Structures are given as structure tokens and as C-alpha cells.
Amino acid sequence: MSRELTMLQAIQEALDLKLADDERVVLLGEDIGVNGGVFRATDGLLAKYGEKRVIDTPLAESGIIGTAIGMALNGMVPVAEIQFLAFIFPGLEQLLSHAARMRHRTRGQFGVPMVIRTPYGAGIRGPELHSESVEAFFAHTPGLKVVVPSSPYDAKGLLISAIEDPDPVVFLEPTRIYRAFREEVPGGLYRVPLGQAKVVREGEDLSIFAWGSMLRTALRAAEQIEQERGWRCEVIDLRTLYPLDRETIITSVQKTGRALVVHEAHKTAGLGAEIISLINDEALLYLRAPVKRIAGFDVPVPMFSVEDDYLPTEARIRQGIEETILF
Amino acid sequence: MLTENDRAQLWMQMKAHSDRLFEEIQVLKPDGEVTGPVDDISPDVMREMYRWMVLVRAFDRKCVILQRQGRIGTYAPFEGQEAAQVGSALALAPEDWMFPTYRDHAAAMVHGQPLATVVLYWMGRMEGCVCPPGKHILPPCVPIATHLLHAAGAAWAAKWRGEPMVAIAYFGDGATSEGDFHEALNFAGVFQLPVIFLCQNNGYAISVPFSRQSASRTIAQRAVAYDIPGVRVDGNDVFAVYRAVRQARERAAAGLGPTLIEAVTFRYGAHTTADDPTRYRDQQRLSDEWRTQRDPVTRLRLYLERHDLWDARQEEAWQAEVASRVDAAVQEAMAAGPADPLAMFDHVYADEPWHLAEQRRELATARGGAHA
């Protein structure tokens, strides 16, 4: 059975299916039960699975992530929701100092199979500190996996894979495209493997790497530039930010000889730098131009009245493509 | 040596004492009668309390309408909590430091934040974070409970320099679950800091009722663990709140350390305009009950009228004044002109580093050089 779902519906369905499929799976977080989550990602799940499986917690992110670690140590598979990415900071010590390191420091004796889901990113006229994009913090932490879906189909398949993964996964959900579009999503359990990027648009002239809500912005820029100038850009959705899919990135750059990274996170020390470094290591001699980053500016994500100027736009991406191809 | 049995008995006694010690203090009853003399609150202050409460309620309702019209962004209404915010803010000295959350703009306005600035904040404008020169009103704290430590630190600095000012932090019941709440109370206790922790316990952290937030029966009793005073008041009783905060302020200023105040109240509306309270509580019934049986504004008006401190003519004049002040504030905010995107590069640092200067030029050029 296949229907058209939004990303939010696809995520809800993945949670529903895993709750049904594996009794070790529990959801916990603020307002996820009776309220169904502030974005409704857990809508209806409390009624269906009860309070032991879908848990409204006290308002404490360190508490949520810390107890999830304990549950995971002792045989459960917690899927924690942090209401917005910028609210995760009280829980960072638990995540970085404990979840990420447990397998390593117990020499494989204890693992922490858990998922931290959290809405992230700008573009929805959110209040202050509701629009951050700090994926690089997590990708800088050995022991964590970092996943960002950009479509309903991938969101469901990636979340199922994340829940089934033996290690802690930070699962970042781009709020801007939660309800922005629908696509066909199969009804049952299926997996999109972690660690694999996807070529969403083929091209020969330049490789664009993007994720989250920026993927669609990059795709539109690629379509416009083909109409205007005839250049065919390959667009790659990285899907997993850590560990990166080196092979797909390098294969594409070897083919096109040019690359551009687009992310809404701040430019400095963002994932773009890491991707460029990878290209430098593996495909330098294929390059015909320096690799550019089109990124959020290095300012605190501004309040919503000017967030559209903070975020990379199609115009900025097109300009980056032109400068790279005409280099 | 106590036996196991002795301990069990003492524990039961302690719970009983705790119930009495943290009983909700009420001065002004919902019917407008008082539970005892209120000579310590002057008629002028009482009228000021009333004027502010009417003003901030009108402001709050206006903002909800503005959000519905798409003229401001997501908004956090406070209607129902006016007594807790107005009463506490009026008990402060002008130079005191205020650390509010996103639902405490009534307190901020009483303490000197212009109404138009508050509107700008909810329009997603950075100008909305700035308080008038000389005032000590911090921008609304968006993360939960983090600013309690800032209040403790500001109080610490005042104490260190021997300045008479105190600091007050506003927060909700949900905040008491965060680690920072406990760290703040602990620091304030250890260093005997001149800080007031004012919790508006409105019963719900978005959808989560207090019973799910904590197994402790009151928030005030948390003070016991840190050996600091804890007080529980009817948060819809402006006299009780005012007195509790005034007393806490006097203690703080006299070097006697922090106080935790729990003001029991209720938000009539949604957590924010993006929230639907009918999903998690019997919204109509609860809201009606609190409005008709415990409203903070109504009870003060009843008291004032009964004591010839307020009449219909004054009411009419004040309502007209309130409407024009709120409209003027909204007009002033809306007239601010389009937000300047380049302002996002201002004040990231005191001195702009090279990469920000470069990115500022990049955005200016992309926008057609209008600001270059």
C-alpha cells in the first residue's frame, strides 16, 4: 500500500510501526503524549500504545537523554524527542560525554541503541532559538551518527534504520519541510540505510551537496541554472552527515570536476568544511575550480523578520554555481 | 538514636508541617474581601496595580489578535497571570534586575519596558530585545530555567560591590524540573545572594500538568532542601504577591539571602498561539472556572469599588486610556519600517572580525547594494 504523505506523517508512521514491531521501543519527551508533540509527530501514539510506551516526561532535556541512556543500557530502545534542537543543550553532557562514549569505554560491553529526534532549522517564522542548525556539534562527536532526511520517503526509512541501529543516532528533522510537500510512501516497514547519500538529480557540470530543507532550494537553483545556462548540476542529498558517504561524494566530484556545498548552518566550521576537505583528500586532481560553500552567515540565527536573508537562497546558490563553472 | 518507627513518624509529621508551611497564602479573596488588614499597601499603589493589570490584559488580547491577523509572529499570552506579574514587578525598586521569560512581558512592561518594544519582539525584530537605557531588563529567556543562574550571578555582583539592588527571575512550573533551577537555588543559598526566584505555577508546562512535572506537592517546598525561605501564595491575588515579593526584596537587600516564591495561577489561553490547549485539558471548563471564580482583575476591582477607591467613571476613562495606549504602541511598532537584514551582523562581537565584514558586504551586494 502506498499513499502520499508529508514528512511528519511519514515520521509518525515510522514510530508507530516500530512501536508495534519491537516491544523494547519506547518514546519519551516533552508534550509527546497527550498533545502528540508540538508538531504532532507522535499524534495518536499514546492512545494506541499507552503510557508505558509513549511517555510525557518532566521538562528536562538532560533528564530525557540521561534516562534514555539508562534504558538503552538495560535492554530498551528509547526514541527521545527534544522539542527543538536549540533546547538540546542541557542534555549535551549526557549525549556527548555518555551516549557517544559508552560503547567505546566499556570496550563493547555496553551499547546505547537510542535515537534523539529533534526538529531543526529556520524558515518557519519561529521564535528565537527555534531555528538553529547545529548538526556540526554532533558530527564532531565520535560515537554518534547524525541523520537528516529531506523527503517523506527517506524520513520514514531512515528513522526505522536509526531505531534499529545499535548506536546512538541524532535524527534531525527539518521543520521547514515537515508539511511542505507530500510524496508516495509505502505502508509497511522498510529501511533506508544509514551512511548512504542519494543522487537526486544527475548532472555532469557540477556536484551540489545539500541536506535538510536546503536540498529543495539547491534543486530549484539547479533547475533554474539549467534553463538559463544549460549547465547540468548533479544534486546529492547526503542524508547521513556522520559518517559521510565518501564514495558517493567522490564519485560525483570525479565525474563533474566541480563542487558546491549548501547548508543553512553557519559557514565557519560547518559540515561544508569537512566535505571540502574530503574532496581535497580524494579528488583534488579532478577539480577544475575551488569548491564553494553557500551557507548561513556566521551570526546567531536572527529573529524571523530577517531569517530569509540569513538562509541560503536560490539566488546565492545560482551565483555560487556561476562563479564555480566560470572560474 | 531514632528507631525506624520514629523516623517514619517524623516523616509523616514533616509532611504535615510542610502542608501547613506551604499553604497558599491569600490576602485578597476572589469576592473582593480581604483576609486581614492591608494598611501596608497604600490606596495609590492599589490603584496602580489595577491600572496596570487592566492595561496589560488589553495589551495581551491585542497581541493575540495581531497574531491571528498575521501582523506579529507566534505569541505567548499571559492572560490570567496579571496579578503575579504586576504585583511582583511593582514591589521592585527601579534599578532592580529583571530576568523574564517569554511569558513575562507584563512584568517587564511594569518594570519599564515600553509596550512598543514588546510588540517589536513578537514581530521577530531584534530591537525588541533592548530595554531603555539605565534599566536592567533582560530579553525574554527562551530556554527554560537557564536565566535563574544569571539572576543569581547579577545578584552576586551587586552584593560584591555593595550595591543595594536585587535581582528577580521569573519562570514557570516546568522550569523547576530543569537542573539549572536547582543549581540557581543552591548557589543563591550558599552565597546568600540578593535574588528572588518567582515561579508562576500555572499548572501546565505546555500540555504537561504539574502532577506529571513533579511528585512534590508544591514548588515552594523545594526551598527546604536548600535551607532558604519558600513561600506559596495565591498568584491571582495581587496583594499577596506584592507582599511576598516586597518581603523577599527587603530580606535580600538586608543581606539575608534569596527567597523562592510560588505564585499559583492559571493561563487562560494557549501556551502560545501555535498551541491548542483543547488537546490536553478541559480548556473551556478550566478557563471558565478560573475566569469566573478566581480572576485577578475582577477581585481587585471589587475591592477598590467597595472601598471607594475606584468608580465607574474612572473605569470608563481608564479603559479609553488603555485602548489608546495599546493602539499607540502597536502603531509605533508597525511604523518601525522594514527590518534591516544587515543588522544581523551588528553586535556579534564588540569588534567585527574580517569574515563578518566580508559576509556583511556579500549580503549587501546580494540585496542590490542598497546598504553597501
Q: Which residues, 6 or more positions from A194, have their beta carbon under 8 angstroms from its beta carbon? A: A145, A147, A158, A161, A162, A165, A169, A240
- Residues of chain B with C-beta less than 8 angstroms from the C-beta of A59: 144, 174-175, 177-178, 205, 208, 213
Give dist(CA A249, CA A236) in Å, integer: 8
Domain tally, chain B: 2
When pLDDT is averaged across residues B325-339 and rounded to a whole number, the result is 97
List the single residue in A129, A306, A316 with the smallest CB-CB distance to B341.
A306
Give dist(CA B296, CA A320) in Å, integer: 58
ipTM (interface predicted TM)? 0.95
Residue B5 belongs to some domain of the structure: no
When pLDDT is averaged across residues B286-303 and rounded to a whole number, the result is 97
Q: Please compute Rg for chain A using Cα positions.
A: 19
Decide if A38 and B275 are in contact by the 8 Å CB cutoff.
yes
When pLDDT is averaged across residues A133-141 and rounded to a whole number, the result is 98
- Asked if residue B357 and residue B230 are part of one domain, the reply reads no
Task: Give residue B76's region: left, alpha or beta (phi > 0; psi -120 to 50).
Answer: beta
- Asked if residue B78 and residue B211 are part of one domain, the reply reads yes
Residue A267 and residue A293 in contact, taking contact as beta carbons nearer than 8 Å? yes
Give dist(CA A187, CA A17) in Å, integer: 9
CATH code for the domain of B295: 3.40.50.970
- Asked if residue B261 and residue B163 are part of one domain, the reply reads yes
When pLDDT is averaged across residues B55-69 and rounded to a whole number, the result is 98
Band (pLDDT 50/70/90 cuts) for residue A218 is very high
Short-list B144, B105, B129, B64, CA closest to A84: B144
Short-list A83, A86, A133, CA closest to A312: A133
When pLDDT is averaged across residues A234-247 and rounded to a whole number, the result is 98
Burial classification of residue B255, based on how many CB atoms lie within 10 Å of its CB (0-12 exposed, 13-18 middle, 19 or more buried): exposed
Helix, strand, coil fractions of chain B, as percent rounded to 5: 50, 10, 40
Residue B13 belongs to some domain of the structure: no
Three cell numbers written together for A173:
528533522
Give dist(CA B91, CA B247) in Å, integer: 9
Q: Which residues, 6 or more positions from A306, have their beta carbon under 8 angstroms from its beta carbon? A: B124, B339, B340, B341, B343, B344
Band (pLDDT 50/70/90 cuts) for residue B372 is very low
Q: What's the confidence (pLDDT) of residue A111? A: 97
Give dist(CA A186, CA A168) in Å, integer: 26
Give dist(CA A82, CA A185) in Å, integer: 25
Number of C-beta neighbours around residue B182 at 10 A: 16
**Which one is catalytic: A130, A140, A263, A266?**
A130
Query: pLDDT tens across A150-206, in order?
Result: 999 999 999 999 999 999 999 999 999 999 999 999 999 999 999 999 999 999 999
Residue B329 belongs to some domain of the structure: yes
- Residues of chain A with C-beta less than 8 angstroms from the C-beta of B274: 38
Can you say whether the dihedral through the CA atoms of A21, A26, A31, A34 is positive or negative?
positive
Number of C-beta neighbours around residue A167 at 10 A: 18
Residue B231 belongs to some domain of the structure: yes
Q: Which residues, 6 or more positions from B353, have their beta carbon under 8 angstroms from its beta carbon? A: none
Burial classification of residue A56, based on how many CB atoms lie within 10 Å of its CB (0-12 exposed, 13-18 middle, 19 or more buried): buried
Longest dimension (CA), chain B: 82
Residue B371 has pLDDT above 50, yes or no: no
Three cell numbers written together for B44:
495609590
- H or E stretch including B263? strand B259-264
Residue B227 belongs to some domain of the structure: yes
List the single residue in B123, B140, B355 with the smallest CB-CB distance to A305.
B123
Residue B74: what residue type? T
Query: pLDDT tens across B116-168, in order?
Result: 999 999 999 999 999 999 999 999 999 999 999 999 999 999 999 999 999 99
- Asked if residue B352 and residue B304 are part of one domain, the reply reads no
Domain that holds residue B220: 21-338
Residue B319 belongs to some domain of the structure: yes
Q: Please compute Rg for chain B using Cα positions.
A: 22
- Asked if residue B248 and residue B372 are part of one domain, the reply reads no
User: Chain B residue closest to A36 (CA)?
Assistant: B279
Query: pLDDT tens across A275-325, in order?
Result: 999 999 999 999 999 999 999 999 999 999 999 999 999 999 999 999 999
User: Chain B residue closest to A307 (CA)?
Assistant: B341
- Asked if residue B371 and residue B266 are part of one domain, the reply reads no
**Which residue, among A305, A309, A316, A317, would best test binding to B if mutated, counting the most B CBs under 10 Å from its CB?**
A305
Short-list B140, B141, B114, CA closest to B333: B114
When pLDDT is averaged across residues B339-346 and rounded to a whole number, the result is 97
**Which residue, among B144, B146, B180, B210, would best test binding to A if mutated, counting the most A CBs under 10 Å from its CB?**
B144
Q: What's the confidence (pLDDT) of residue A211? A: 98
Give dist(CA B168, CA B34) in Å, integer: 27
- Calculate ∠ Cα A114-A117-A118, nearest 5°: 150
Three cell numbers written together for A144:
554518534
Decide if B344 and A126 are in contact by the 8 Å CB cutoff.
no
Q: Which residues, 6 or more positions from B272, have their beta carbon under 8 angstroms from its beta carbon? A: A127, B74, B75, B76, B77
Residue B122: what residue type? W
Measured in degrees and rounded to the nearest 5, phi and psi for residue A261 equal -110, 135
When pLDDT is averaged across residues A136-150 and rounded to a whole number, the result is 98
Give dist(CA A163, CA A114) in Å, integer: 7
- Asked if residue B352 and residue B253 are part of one domain, the reply reads no
Chain B: residues touching A (Cβ < 8 Å): 73-74, 102, 123-126, 128, 140, 142-144, 146, 174-175, 177-180, 205-208, 212-214, 272, 274-275, 279-280, 339-341, 343-345, 348, 355-356, 359, 363, 366-367
| Domains contained in chain A, CATH given | 2-186 (3.40.50.970), 198-325 (3.40.50.920)
List the single residue in A33, A59, A305 with the smallest CB-CB distance to B175.
A59
List the single residue in B208, B279, B344 with the smallest CB-CB distance to A59.
B208
- Residues of chain A with C-beta less than 8 angstroms from the C-beta of B207: 31, 33-35, 56
- The DSSP-derived string for A121-164 is -S-S---TTSS---HHHHHTSTT-EEE---SHHHHHHHHHHHHH
- Asked if residue B308 and residue B168 are part of one domain, the reply reads yes
Query: pLDDT tens across B164-184, in order?
Result: 999 999 999 999 999 999 999
A34 touches chain B (CB under 8 A): yes
Of all residues in chain A, what percent carry a pLDDT higher than 90? Answer: 99
List the single residue in B125, B143, B366 with the smallest CB-CB distance to A316.
B366
Residue B219 belongs to some domain of the structure: yes
- Asked if residue B321 and residue B348 are part of one domain, the reply reads no
Residue A216: what residue type? R
- Asked if residue B344 and residue B304 are part of one domain, the reply reads no
- Measure in Å the smallest separation between the Cα of A267 and chain B Cα atoms: 10
Residue B364 belongs to some domain of the structure: yes
Query: pLDDT tens across A241-274, in order?
Result: 999 999 999 999 999 999 999 999 999 999 999 9
Length of chain B: 372
Short-list B201, B138, B192, CA closest to B168: B138
Of all residues in chain B, what percent carry a pLDDT higher than 90? Answer: 98
- Measure in Å the smallest separation between the Cα of B42 and chain A Cα atoms: 40
Give dist(CA B84, CA A53) in Å, integer: 37
- Asked if residue B205 and residue B111 are part of one domain, the reply reads yes
- Asked if residue B359 and residue B239 are part of one domain, the reply reads no
- H or E stretch including A69? helix A61-73
Q: What's the confidence (pLDDT) of residue B369? A: 54
Three cell numbers written together for B51:
491600572
